[in-house]
Structure 1
């Protein structure tokens, strides 16, 4: 009976891989942040307790918004006189992973729809009923958490994952990054062959779109790699389900496409690290070598025999190409036991880096002071 229950639990988690956490920690339990290893001069603190904190966005007045998929809620975190307050903006939503802010309004994803909360920072304690700007996205919940963000073109980019582990879905509906106008009109596919991205951002100089992508499961512990991709233009195909990594065909679908004619990743991550949220560091608090480089949250493997991930990575670029990767923060995984799972990162106006953790129900703040 125990074996059956464990198997069913794994299947359910696989369906929502990179959307729901394995479990939720008791928020009253002190978090062992002293175990987090960071480069010299950096420190980490608990910034706010937010149940199942996932995607993050910053309001014009400094409000931090967080989506929460398993709780079905969207939260706002405000700070006054050194005290932070967590307010529930919406509840009863369907997998509200993604949040984005534009022109005073908060946008939140909910599987097949995008909601808009107007004048949100003026009405945090009593937000008005949201406007549904579109309900035309697929309603499949497998990879149904939609990461969203506004691009430099003022369009809202919406990720739509594959409705499966590995299959050939409709390329106009699944395994893609789409974009729409702020009013929900003008849907178009920007990038195809994207199995499941839960994080993207634009290079502050070139304005190219960069995004993480999670590789398929059940090819063993060491295949396929997770990816970091670069999309400088519309219409590129990034491999799924035909190819993964730089040039490796999928054992079932690979014969249908020439991997050399698809766009290879800008960088490979280790297999099954579950690379999710990513942001270019544009602040001034951290040392200059971090500026305009990428911080990536690795949520951590769920079915690998030896767990991997559960950390933050920094990816360094030169001339718009990846030249180096290194672990920036680790310690959420101890001897195969995880007490935290990073999901998203957000650069604050003062240059500090916020990190959401759905497993611990927390948002951390990482800061730097020259040693």
Structure 2
């Protein structure tokens, strides 16, 4: 065991012990979930907050996640390298962004421990930096063809296809490539549409507007709570709107610490996103959340959370706090809710109302782990309307010591009766269908 592995374990034990002591003093915390969550008062954890993440093991031969009653799951594709995000093309091909967090030399004791912890969990290392195309030509639910569509990208994540242009959200900007239906590789030179600052929260999700004239781009913060000052956070923690005709890019909404998945809700035609909130205030404080995104809206980061609850660790701006909007639906503390897609009623058996599917990557910084599952939030009249339901779980060992997988991106299959889930620890794309479906 190397020095940094030992350091990670020591820091994790210290942080976990502190949280255990607080829980003994204040009682167990219930999950902060729903449209009116009970959020415990924030208790800053000091310089060394909890570090707890299971060791990445992967799936044993024949081992599968657990699907909800009436559903079944199979490997659509396996043997990938850190698959994070997916796009289903009009002909049924599935493109998969394979990328991994990487960065410069750690600066502090906690940085060293965090990097060592992330490496043990297969969440930090050399990035594949490619997009793979999967083809299930015989429509049997398993991709029999695999092609490198694009390589030598810079941590690719979001993807979109509009007409004959394939867009990629690299960590340093949005790129555009000429594409023709059926292509299995792209060799045309890229056009750079935007430039973003890399590092920190590196994912750049993409979502086209319903009319195909704009792209929405999620860009996360550099740090947890702007520890390096607000200047280095300029242009971050927001969702951008990119006009594809004029190439004009503007901030659509801000104060969103790390907005990743985005989706359109078809009744109100509003944009929704899932956001990863700040660390270091406790197991359930504040919760990650699902929210509609208001044009010009400010959602609090870094000054406050869940509306106007002030974070005393941050130098304050009372005028900004006064404008902070309250999110729509809490998803629990540190669930790392990343994937998001709209699922119409009847897509999967037993899920007979419309709603949002969320891929919860799972926590690394709380005393009892959260997330590590794919969930469904039912909607009615354009808003969340009921408790969270599980679709897929079993990614985490019962004793929380190892993870077999971690779900990230989610997308509805071309057949409209399947759900694809990217698993970046298992290196698998899972396919969820009805138990009686064929295939």
TM-score over 0.5 for the pair = yes
Q: Residue 6 and residue 107 in structure 1: after superposition, are their counterparts in 2 closer, same or farther (change >3 A)?
A: farther
| Residue number in structure 2 paired with 1:121 | 181
For residue 187 of structure 2, give the secondary structure of its aligned residue in structure 1: coil
For residue 259 of structure 2, give the secondary structure of its aligned residue in structure 1: coil
What is the aligned length?
356
For structure 2, the 5+ residue unaligned runs are: 12-52, 101-127
Cα separation, 2, equivalents of 1:10 and 1:207: 49
Cα separation, 1, equivalents of 2:10 and 2:315: 27
Deviation at 1:281, TM superposition (A): 0.4
Cα separation, 1, equivalents of 2:66 and 2:56: 23
TM-score when scaled to structure 2?
0.75
Cα separation, 2, equivalents of 1:113 and 1:355: 25
Asked if the contact 2:267/2:382 (under 8 Å) is kept, the reply is: no
String of CA shifts for 1:250-300, please: whole Å, max 9, x gaps: 122374236563111111111111000111103744247444300000000
| Residue number in structure 2 paired with 1:18 | none
1:151 aligns with 2:209: yes
Alignment partner of 1:190 out of 243, 252, 264: 252
Asked if the contact 1:115/1:130 (under 8 Å) is kept, the reply is: no
Asked if the contact 1:95/1:111 (under 8 Å) is kept, the reply is: yes
Cα separation, 2, equivalents of 1:24 and 1:75: 23
Asked if the contact 1:56/1:67 (under 8 Å) is kept, the reply is: yes
Cα separation, 2, equivalents of 1:10 and 1:320: 47
Q: Which moved more, 1:44-53 or 1:219-228?
A: 219-228
For residue 236 of structure 1, give the secondary structure of its aligned residue in structure 2: coil
Cα separation, 2, equivalents of 1:287 and 1:114: 37
Cα separation, 1, equivalents of 2:350 and 2:97: 31
Asked if the contact 1:58/1:101 (under 8 Å) is kept, the reply is: no
Cα separation, 1, equivalents of 2:89 and 2:366: 38
The within-5 A match list for 1:336-355 is 336=400, 337-350=402-415, 351-355=417-421
The structure with higher relative contact order (CA 8 Å, sep 6+) is 2
Asked if the contact 2:299/2:307 (under 8 Å) is kept, the reply is: no
For structure 1, the 5+ residue unaligned runs are: 12-20
CA RMSD of aligned residues (A): 2.7
Asked if the contact 1:226/1:245 (under 8 Å) is kept, the reply is: no
| Residue number in structure 1 paired with 2:363 | 301
The within-5 A match list for 1:36-185 is 36-49=65-78, 50-70=80-100, 71-81=128-138, 82=140, 83-124=143-184, 126-138=185-197, 140-154=198-212, 155-167=214-226, 169=230, 173-182=235-244, 185=247
Deviation at 1:118, TM superposition (A): 1.6
TM-score when scaled to structure 1?
0.87
Asked if the contact 1:24/1:52 (under 8 Å) is kept, the reply is: no
